Structure 1
Amino acid sequence: MENTMTEKTENKLSVAEAQAICLRNNIPFYTYRLPGSHEVIFGAQLSNDTRIFKGFEKHRGEKGFVITPFNHASWSFPFFIKADLSFTDYLTDGESIQNLRNTVFNTPGRIFTKQDCEHFEYLDELRTMIETLKREGMRKAVLSRTITLPCDSLRLAPVIFEQMKQYHHAFLFFAAIPGKCAWMGASPETFLKYDRNGFFTMSLAGTQSVATAKTPPEWSDKDIEEQQIVTDYIHDTLRHYFTRHLDIEGPITLQAGNVFHLCTFFRSDEQLPADQIDELVTQLHPTPAVCGLPKKRAMQIISEIEKQERGYYAGFLGPLQASGAFDLFVNLRTMEVFDDALRLYVGGGITPLSDPETEWQETCQKADTLLNLIRQINYGKVTF
């Protein structure tokens, strides 16, 4: 019986099985599903060298996955996971399956240490941020917090990814570089998409609970202003690169899990050389949707007030093709995977019009997108 099962497994390997092997053997890997697609793409790097992402011009001709931090000036580095092995939905090549099983690296694990922000602490941080915005005449900054779930996370993570498939309009991802970082989520926000048809991006801001919103949703002055700040920033950035054609659609209401957002789409059929693509990415990231405005001062305020280091939360990540095409998304509705815990990251845009308790509730609503999914899985070791 044991030999039969082994033979069967080695002739067909699912994405979940491949993830489990990589987590157990400390192999760098990535998994993703694009919004609206049914195909799940898996890739693994069969070497243990850490590859720093050096920009799209430097990596042209390579296939893999990019994961970058919120703040490039922090201790976190942008990484590139090379696709030495890749497949869609199932791996059916016996030699490749055996090669993956036999690849093992000795890499130290990652154990969570820092504690989460309590309700009263987050309200204090919110009041401090709102007062700072008013005093300095700033329009927006973004505050975030964490929710840590101690659990058998390496066993649980592939199961959670399978459950996330119900979010058809989100970018699903699970990427890990052992000893460095591991993130999984269902992002609603495109950072930048590029292919032979041109470029696409969006401004996403403003949040309402689906459960309590009217039909159609009515947006507050605070939400409308917050979304306009992001839209204006992205528009001002793009118009310097796309001088011939830039199509703008919105704002419209977009549903992401159990919340609504205001969203504006930007499209251009123009092409850019690789060095200008790198320039554009540098100018866009981070947008006011996850940072604030003015950008430099907003990043300083976030660093001063937030309890946790963001790391790769609110950075961008996604697949890069050998053709130079890429699909990058903001690392939102996301969790960091440690050896002994899952840590969810949630945040919200703060303006001088913000109400602290309302902002707290918004983070709870965003967290429920992933928490409700985890609750569907019957694992007694998950506590929250």
Structure 2
Amino acid sequence: MTTVQEHPATRGAAAGTIGAATALLDAYRSGTDRFFASPTRTLLARGVHAPVADGERPLPDRVQDALAAAHAAGVPDPLVIGAIPFAPAAPSALVVPAGLRRAPALAADPLTALPAPRPEPAAWSVHPVPAPERYAEAVEAAVARMTAGGLRKVVLARALDLTGGRAPDVPAMLQRLARGDARGYTFAVPTPDGTTLLGASPELLVSRRGTTLVANPLAGSAPRSDDLAEDVRRAAALLQSAKDLHEHAVVVDAMRAVLAPYCAALDVPDKPTLVRTATMWHLSTTLTGTLAEPSLSALDLACALHPTPAVCGAPTALAREVIGELEPFDRHLYTGMVGWGDSRGDGEWVVTIRCAEASERGLRLYAGAGVVPSSDPAAETAETGAKFRTFLDAVGAAL
């Protein structure tokens, strides 16, 4: 029997005023606003009260300094919102906003059922980086590294550059992403280099509310099918796939090892269940814990976990090295984390996947696949192609 997991944050979610969440979605302005929607809330941040300073001190300390300064300046209940890159030493894109509007979850707003306008016809030119055959060769090289010993898993990504006759309509894309999966995590964040990071991630890195933490790693995937019978077959096959179950176990075991020392209690289910998005099935495990030290913030926990083997590999240092050798681009914010945190230490940090960077020139889309010793290069290439569908559908393009 196929089991489909309810997202943990949706359990008991309070129903909100009709139209409250979609009003924030409708009010989003590209370039100046920061939008974040999760199964618990919808946030629209306007302007910048203060950026989180760069520096060598740990990021959670710099965030606490920014929040304390904002509180002293009279900002009521300040929080930080934005994105953190994949590379540990790279600058973050976190700010204390000048203004903040809050609403219940998009999934609690019946108006999300109204479809977003379809993309206007556009002649997108699609350029893969690297070409699919080069990506398959990189997967093959990674498998060879594992056979030689040391490396257990590595996540290899590829990109698509989309260019057209006009600048991307970021608010329209955000509408389609959010309404396409209202129970997921949708975000749009301006970056220091003038682009906008936007996406619809299915994966919660970690959240904290009081002393309760939740982490929901996803690893092991299969594309959805428009045919119901085939879709169910693919879901059932994923639950029985030795390759995907191994890939998933590597991630869960690593996250258990990181979180356990911080917890008075930590519950880790023995077997994964399934989470579905509009385009993919994912193996999913929800870890829930009670913090032994209440002063630990959601961001403290997120930084301890980041990057998980779901987006990097195992062991981490060696996987980073292999990624640097085999990927022909800088990931920037892709496979980092995006979210929010407040002065109480509560927050939600999401793995930055199913995302794109939008600029006046076009879009760069990212997708990756977890490579383990039993990986097939053609299958991993096809998996990344399926993951691109989330964004390709949002802009009206195709591979």
Q: So what's the TM-score if we normalise by structure 2?
A: 0.76
2:45 corresponds to 1:43? yes
Going from structure 1 to structure 2, the CA distance change for 1:217 and 1:343 (only over 3 Å counts) comes to same
From 30, 36, 45, the counterpart of 2:34: 30
Partner of 2:88: 72
Counterpart Cα distance in 2 of 1:144 and 1:180: 23
- Matched with 1:363 is 384
Q: Aligned pair 1:121/2:141, yes or no? A: no
1:217 aligns with 2:236: yes
Q: 1:179 to 1:352 in 2, by over 3 A?
A: same
Separation in structure 1 between the aligned mates of residue 303 and residue 45 of structure 2, nearest angstrom: 26
* Superimposed CA distance per residue, residues 142-199 of structure 1 (whole angstroms, 9 cap, x where no aligned partner): 1000011114675511101011122022100000035355210000000110111511
SS of equivalent to 1:56? helix
For residues 228 and 192 of structure 1, what CA distance do their matches in structure 2 show?
18
CA 1:214–1:166 in 2, change beyond 3 Å: closer, same or farther?
closer
C-alpha separation in 1, matches of 2:166 and 2:387: 21
**8 Å CA contact retained: 1:56, 1:274:** no
Q: Amino acid of the residue matched to residue 321 of structure 2?
A: Q
Match of 1:328 in 2: 349
User: Could you report, residue by residue, the CA deviation over 1:202-221 in whole angstroms, capped at 9, with x for unpaired residues?
Assistant: 22100112214444512321
What RMSD, in angstroms, separates the aligned Cα atoms of the two structures? 2.7
Please give the secondary structure, in 2, of the residue aligned with 1:308.
Answer: coil
Query: What is the CA distance between 1:44 and its match in structure 2?
Result: 2.1
SS of the aligned residue for 1:246 comes to strand
Deviation by residue 1:57-95 (Cα, 9 ceiling, x = unmatched): 44344412031111114xx31231212112247xxxxxx
Candidates 57, 63, 83, aligned match of 2:97: 83
Given that residues 16 and 159 in structure 1 are in contact (C-alpha distance below 8 angstroms), is that contact kept between their aligned partners in structure 2? no
How many residues are aligned here?
Answer: 333
Question: Which amino acid is 2:242 matched to?
Answer: D
User: 1:201 is matched with which residue: 210, 215, 236?
Assistant: 215
Match of 2:181 in 1: 167
Q: Is the counterpart of residue 246 in structure 1 residue 266 in structure 2?
A: yes
Q: 1:283 to 1:204 in 2, by over 3 A?
A: same
Structure 1: where are the runs of 5+ without partners?
1-12, 90-113, 376-381
User: Contact between 1:169 and 1:256, CA under 8 Å: does it hold in 2?
Assistant: no
The reply on whether 1:281 has 2:302 as its aligned counterpart is yes
Q: Which amino acid aligns with 1:31?
A: F
**1:353 is the counterpart of 2:374:** yes
Report if aligned partners of 1:56, 1:275 keep a CA contact under 8 Å in 2: no
On the 8 A contact 2:52/2:62 being kept in 1, the answer is no
Whether the aligned pair in 2 keeps the contact of 1:153 and 1:342 (CA below 8 Å) is no
Give me the identity figure in percent. 23
User: Paired residue for 1:318?
Assistant: 339
